[in-house]
Structure 1
Amino acid sequence: MTRMIQLALATTRPRRAVPGRGVLDPSVTRMRVRLGDLDFYRHVNNGVYLQMMDVARSNYLADLGAFSLLNERGWYPVVASSTMSYRRSLTLGQRFEITTRLLGWDPRCAYLEQTFTRSGEHVARGVIAGRFLSRDGSRVPAPAVIDLLGTHDGPSPELPADVRAWAEAVGVAHRDQPAV
């Protein structure tokens, strides 16, 4: 529950934008493991990692100054798909960082990597396929959001092979429409 409150605050009262921050620049969110984050085995529950990633993605958008721009248009982000890999456990009281970075985009989705580290050690990695929706229910093309943020000119960087394969496997990657 406390991570939900943290997400609500990160979204409704975002931290200040970082001057000169671009969409391809990483964003770092620092956290500490709380009692409510733990499962029966006394390490962070796998579902809590996803809530922590929600907070870090809100901070990424805040660093870009994106909230006011998105709100003006009635656009908001949603997760289309996610995958996680875990290497080490996080336990009560430990400090850690989540580094969020945009890997690239296609006409449908933006692909983000979120890496958890503790004292410089890799803990976990999440990959997110995110979309933007409009309040009227329509989908907003990812390139339109990148253009709105105005911090990158040109095409998307090439996605890492593992992310491209994952996006195709789970069905979130853009598919060219067949000729009619």
Structure 2
Amino acid sequence: MHLMFRTLLLFLTSRRRLRRGEKLGNWDVGRIQVRVLPTDLDFLRHMNNGVYLSIFDLGRFDLLIRNGLWDEFDRRGWYPVVSSESITFRKSLQLWQRFTVESRVVGYDDKGVFIEHRAIVDGEIYTQATVRGRFLKKSGGTVSIAELLEITGPPPADITVPAWQKQWAVDVALPPTKAPAPSDW
């Protein structure tokens, strides 16, 4: 439940930042400040591994709101979903510790958009995640990359999905939703 309050607060804060002129470009790095709360902790008293991914959701929301795409996608009846994610931990975050979530779109392939998130303390990476997402239409179906690029424009030449991320997307993919996916061990 605490993440629902954080999400609502983030939506308000990001919209206020946008009104104050803190607009982001579609390919910029977004940054939000976060503090580890008691509800973020696990039994070992550091931030629970699952909470990182929820906090990184906030980074994506901030990007979409401050670059103006959230309202445009809403107008078109599009919404984001995560299709794959992978996270690597380097150092633990402790109770009340402040950190920055950095989020950036690193590119796309034929099926999705790649976003990188980092939890940063004093300029140092504590945790890093790669997320591959896509956009669905409320009317049904998936937003194509071509439709997406009509709105966002092409990425700058220096922004490309690293080869390992492209391979990762292939390696972790499950069958399409209409195909069988039996749980055979």
TM range (shorter): 0.7 to 0.9
In structure 2, runs of 5+ residues without a counterpart are: 175-185
| RMSD (Å), alpha carbons | 2.2
Kept in 2, the 8 Å contact 1:113–1:127? The answer is yes
Query: Equivalent residue of 2:71, what SS?
Result: helix
1:118 aligned to which of 106, 121, 124: 121
Aligned partner of 1:136 among 134, 139, 145: 139
Cα displacement (A) at 1:146: 3.2
Matches within 5 A, 1:1-150: 1-11=1-11, 14-15=14-15, 16-17=17-18, 21-150=24-153
| 2: CA distance, partners of 1:143 / 1:156 | 20
Q: TM-score, normalised by structure 2?
A: 0.83
- String of CA shifts for 1:66-90, please: whole Å, max 9, x gaps: 1210111000000001000000000
**Unmatched 5+ stretches in structure 1:** 173-180
Q: How far did residue 4 of structure 1 move?
A: 2.4
CA–CA separation in structure 2 for the residues paired with 1:10 and 1:29? 9
1:12 Cα offset (Å): 7.3
Q: Is the 8 A contact 1:104 1:156 kept in 2?
A: no
- Distance in 1, matches of 2:107 and 2:128, equals 17
CA contact 1:4–1:51 (8 Å) conserved in 2: no
Is the alpha carbon distance of 1:19 and 1:49 closer, same or farther for their aligned partners in structure 2, counting shifts above 3 Å?
Answer: closer
**Matched residues in 1 for 2:45 and 2:7: separation?**
23
Using the aligned pairs only, state the percent identity. Answer: 34
